[in-house]
Amino acid sequence: MTPKVLISDKMDPKAAAIFRERGIQVDEITGKTPDELAAIIGDYDGLAIRSSTKVTAKLLEHARNLKVVGRAGIGVDNVDIPAATARGVVVMNTPFGNSITTAEHAIALMFALARQLPEADASTQAGKWEKNRFMGVELTAKTLGLIGAGNIGSIVASRALGLRMKVIAFDPFLTPERALELGIEKVDLDDLLRRADFITLHTPLTDQTRNILSRENLARTKKGVRIINCARGGLIDEAALKDALDSGQVAGAALDVFETEPATASPLFGTPGFISTPHLGASTSEAQVNVAIQVAEQMSDFLLLGGVTNAINMPSLSAEEAPRLKPYMALAEKLGKLLGQVLGEEVRSVAVEVEGAAAELNQKPITGAVLAGLMGTYSQTVNMVNAPFLAKERGLDVREIRHEREGDYHTLVRVTAGTPDGERCVAGTLFGNKAPRLVDIFGVGVEADLAGSMLYIVNNDAPGFIGALGSTLGNAGINIATFNLGRRAAGGEAVALVAVDGTVPPEVVEQLSHLEGVRQVVPLKF
């Protein structure tokens, strides 16, 4: 079936062109109210947005077919990420399409603050010639403090270093190695506030970063600091910034973003030393084209090939990786389903191990597939997006282990479930690099294809069992498709994995459980 995408915000025409070129049906319907959008969203597999459309939990309730939301831009404040994740919807952004544009805007505002350009322009065009009034400062040799040194922050750092500034950065995710590579100094927030002549913010708005420049933190800044925010409104206490400008603690501030937008009124408006722009960070023709192209390509890769790029709520999986990983993910999901159906509520933790050829691959999607199979035992709407979320909700501890060695199989995926009675392990491989095959179940070697309706049976290894099993199924009119056996030792515990045509009724499962020597019977579905 041809995927269908809705573009609900104004976007460069190249986005729709890319969708159509790749065989995806696309509708451009913009300017709809939330209720109007809710009335039509159920028909679409993908939703491409900018900042106007609000993807709320209420809207997602109507999006019965939605698989992906693509944001043409960086910020996803207008998307309810937890609600999308819970419903299994991938949320993507385009963090690189407008990075240079936003970084350049921050540098432009830094220059404007340093040389009081807007005020000087207004004064000159009013017929005045106030050379002595507008005494600026140089950027050379000044210290720039970055709050956030990710994609955009690192570009600002490189431009600032080119201006012969000293750059320091506060970013919990910045490694010493990355700081060295960028040529900047990693510091804590107090040190940055104390030392910086200019502060620029380049961080998302989260519970941890909201009001990071609070009244208290503004009071700790170097007197005469100049502050630039092209990231997100809400990172600065705007009322406190107004007071700091009035007192001279802050010499100047330039905001491209505000806590409430559109910012038609603000206590900062009209304050000497304050510059504002209407969220122009990404507003260049190049950036608008770039993010439109990027979001269309990312969404197309996902809907057609399974590639996941720049997703907020699941691991990345490139379109190039997807075909190679697809059989591994099918194997991993089946192993997870097997554990979930046999162990049920007993599972407390999950360890996913890869070895041989599997160890050379991106393990995150394999782990996601295991969890999707496992959590499918508890939810009918589970997929790789919401499976980790559901696992976390249930308090499952999830670990990943990679072994470079190659064992008995050239490639192997092993999944170990922790239970109150100890660890239970299943393992599988790929035959011909594409056919998933179980090779070990709870320490018993059994080679089986996990497909369709099956029975997992644990019994005492004794003569006559196979005949009794076959007779019981035959008397119930159930045909055996495949029969796979394994045992720990002669006369000890044996395992049978029996594929059957159709579904085994509960009363037949009950009959099987009462056969002599049978310890456990579990019907399986794959």
Select from 151, 142, 149, 160 the least CA-distant residue to 106.
160
pLDDT band at 122 (very low <50, low <70, confident <90, very high): very high
pLDDT digits (tens, 9 = 90+) for 218-244: 999 999 999 999 999 999 999 999 999
Task: Write out the catalytic residue numbers.
Answer: 232, 261, 279
- Where residue 169 falls (left for φ over 0; alpha for ψ -120 to 50; beta otherwise) is beta
Exposed/middle/buried for residue 275 (C-beta within 10 Å: 0-12, 13-18, 19+): buried
**How far is Cα 258 from Cα 265, in angstroms, rounded to an integer?**
10
Contact 442, 495 (CB under 8 A): yes
Select from 294, 139, 151 the least CA-distant residue to 230.
151
Quote the pTM value: 0.66
What are the distances in angstroms from CA 83 to CA 47, 62, 89, 90, 504? Answer: 15, 12, 9, 11, 37
**How far is Cα 191 from Cα 129, in angstroms, rounded to an integer?**
40
Q: Furthest-apart CA pair in the chain: how many Å?
A: 108
Exposed/middle/buried for residue 526 (C-beta within 10 Å: 0-12, 13-18, 19+): middle
CB-based contacts of 291: which residues, under 8 Å, 6+ apart? 72, 73, 94, 97, 98, 282
Q: Element (H or E) spanning 524, and its range? A: strand 518-525
pLDDT digits (tens, 9 = 90+) for 356-398: 999 999 899 999 999 999 988 877 678 888 888 888 878 899 9
| SS3 of residue 511 by DSSP | helix
Q: Element (H or E) spanning 241, and its range? A: helix 238-247
**How far is Cα 17 from Cα 26, in angstroms, rounded to an integer?**
9
pLDDT digits (tens, 9 = 90+) for 248-285: 999 999 999 999 999 999 999 999 999 999 999 988 98
Residue type, position 344, single letter: G
Q: Which two tokens stand for residue 104?
A: 């350049």
pLDDT band at 448 (very low <50, low <70, confident <90, very high): very high
pLDDT digits (tens, 9 = 90+) for 7-63: 999 999 999 999 999 999 999 999 999 999 999 999 999 999 998 999 999 999 999
Q: Element (H or E) spanning 486, and its range? A: strand 480-487
Domains of the chain as residue ranges with CATH: 4-96+287-305 (3.40.50.720), 99-276 (3.40.50.720), 320-445 (3.30.1330.90), 451-526 (3.30.70.260)
pLDDT digits (tens, 9 = 90+) for 157-180: 999 999 999 999 999 989 899 999
**How far is Cα 117 from Cα 275, in angstroms, rounded to an integer?**
9
Residue 444 β-bridge partners: 441
**How far is Cα 339 from Cα 341, in angstroms, rounded to an integer?**
6
Q: Which two tokens stand for residue 159?
A: 């431009």
Place of tokens 């380049």: 202
> Distance from first CA to last CA of the chain, Å, rounded?
23
**How far is Cα 126 from Cα 387, in angstroms, rounded to an integer?**
63
pLDDT band at 402 (very low <50, low <70, confident <90, very high): very high
Q: What's the average model confidence in pLDDT over 84-98?
A: 89
Select from 71, 1, 21, 61 the least CA-distant residue to 299.
71
